[in-house]
A and B are shown apart, each in its own frame.
Chain A
Amino acid sequence: KQEVTQIPAALSVPEGENLVLNCSFTDSAIYNLQWFRQDPGKGLTSLLLIQSSQREQTSGRLNASLDKSSGRSTLYIAASQPGDSATYLCAVLPFNAGGTSYGKLTFGQGTILTVHP
């Protein structure tokens, strides 16, 4: 059974710092890995999606990497801002037997990020 773990569970940093959030998964047979952001009391917003054949994706100050063989992904946030404060979730899309996938994501527990001015 696929298990996804995110470390740390919570992180507090001063504004301007570069930071790294970690995600590890136990089964390397995945289609892709997705990073989400969740603001308090809100739904999930997709930040980056990395296909299994890719090693990284970038969007603005965000960079996500994927090392499928070691079962790890990192989300790098450059020059953090108070507006980055949120919970960050990673999720993997398993590779189903037969090559099909019905999009059943397995989520980590999330990292709560606080960026203080």
Chain B
Amino acid sequence: NAGVTQTPKFRVLKTGQSMTLLCAQDMNHEYMYWYRQDPGMGLRLIHYSVGEGTTAKGEVPDGYNVSRLKKQNFLLGLESAAPSQTSVYFCASRPGQVKSYEQYFGPGTRLTVT
């Protein structure tokens, strides 16, 4: 099993450019999450999804959009990148409500906005 994968691993954007980060999981998990990690801030939840076709806002959703068209994929979009969005982005997934609460994380995407 590949687990949780993220593409791309690295990206440099100019202010105002757009991009989409892809998260894929092969564990048939219901729930998926996008976090950002900044120095001294820990991980903060951006958006999450509790099933195919559903999305919800997390702690820091502004400037991001998400989609979950297929159960195995969770996309994070930046429509107009800003330097404040320079961060490391992590995707995670876990089984649904009645099963294990353990979250499984991807390797991260390092994004720099200049």
Residues of A within 8 A of B (CB): 4, 31-32, 34, 36, 41-46, 49, 89, 91, 93, 100-105, 107-110
Chain B residue numbers with a CB within 8 Å of A43 are 4, 90, 105-108
Chain A residue numbers with a CB within 8 Å of B40 are 109
With contacts A43-B90, A43-B107, A103-B48 taken as known, whether A109 is within 8 angstroms of B42 at the C-beta atoms is yes
B74 within 8 A of A: no
Residues of B within 8 A of A (CB): 4, 31, 33, 40-45, 48, 50, 56, 58, 90, 92, 94, 97, 101-108, 110
Q: What would 17 more interface pairs be, CB under 8 Å, given A34-B103, A102-B56, A107-B43?
A: A4-B42, A34-B102, A42-B108, A43-B106, A43-B108, A44-B90, A89-B42, A101-B97, A102-B50, A103-B94, A103-B101, A103-B103, A104-B45, A104-B58, A105-B45, A109-B40, A109-B42
